[in-house]
Amino acid sequence: MLRLRDIMTTDVLTVTPSTSLQEAADLFTARHVGGAPVVEGTRVVGVVSASDILGFAAAPPDVPREAATEDDADEDDGASRDWPGEEAEPSGRFFTDLWSETRAEVPERIDDRSPSDWDVLAAHTVEEVMTRDVHALRPSADVSAAVALMRSADVHRVLVMDGPTLLGIVTTVDVARAITDGRLVRRTFVFG
């Protein structure tokens, strides 16, 4: 009977809740993994996967806009920055003021062909996308128990823990490798 301790990875990549999504994605790429436990001190508080990060990147929040400062309000000459009522049209001064405030930035933006200054993955953390429901088994558990848990929970990894202590991780790749190596076979004996 093959146990989790026989196939688990013990050099487990972990991240913290405050790790940026960009840092996590870079770590996953460098280590060729699809996810990692999220730890706070020595306590496992969740799991984050590449799918979590990709899902977030596919529907990111809006780009933050700079908030007006009190200094900006003091410099206001009384011209309204808000659109007038629905029936009225904005005055020409609205657009003139708007252009004069941004004119210095326009040539720089046109000459700079780099992507947006705001990197959505660098601006958000693992804590925002991680799964807090941790699926874990003991190192003495049978590999088939891990497979059953992965299937029922629709996850690709199971943490191997002894109480609150993280010992390792078993992924679908580890299970596939055990099958390919002939280490995970089911034998049925029939006697006549």
Looking at this protein, which amino acid is placed at residue 153?
A: A
Closest by CA to 19, choosing from 43, 42, 44, 40, is 40
Q: Which pLDDT score is estimated for 116?
A: 53
Each residue's pLDDT tens digit, 73-102 = 555 454 444 545 555 555 556 555 655 655
Rounded Cα distance between 46 and 27, Å, is: 17
How far apart (Å, rounded) are the C-alpha atoms in residues 167 and 137? Answer: 10
Q: In terms of DSSP H, where are the helices of the chain?
A: 4-7, 21-31, 50-58, 70-75, 92-102, 105-111, 143-153, 172-180
Which pLDDT score is estimated for 155?
A: 94
* pLDDT confidence of residue 110: 46
110-156 confidence digits (pLDDT tens): 444 455 556 889 999 999 999 999 999 999 999 999 999 999 999 99
Mean pLDDT of 3-26: 97
- Dihedral of CA 151/36/21/125: which sign? positive
* Prediction pTM value: 0.68
Which domains are seen in the chain, by residue range?
4-60+121-180 (3.10.580.10)
Distance CA 76, CA 81 (A): 9
Q: Which two tokens stand for residue 136?
A: 């874990």
Check: CB of residue 183 under 8 Å from CB of residue 6. Answer: yes
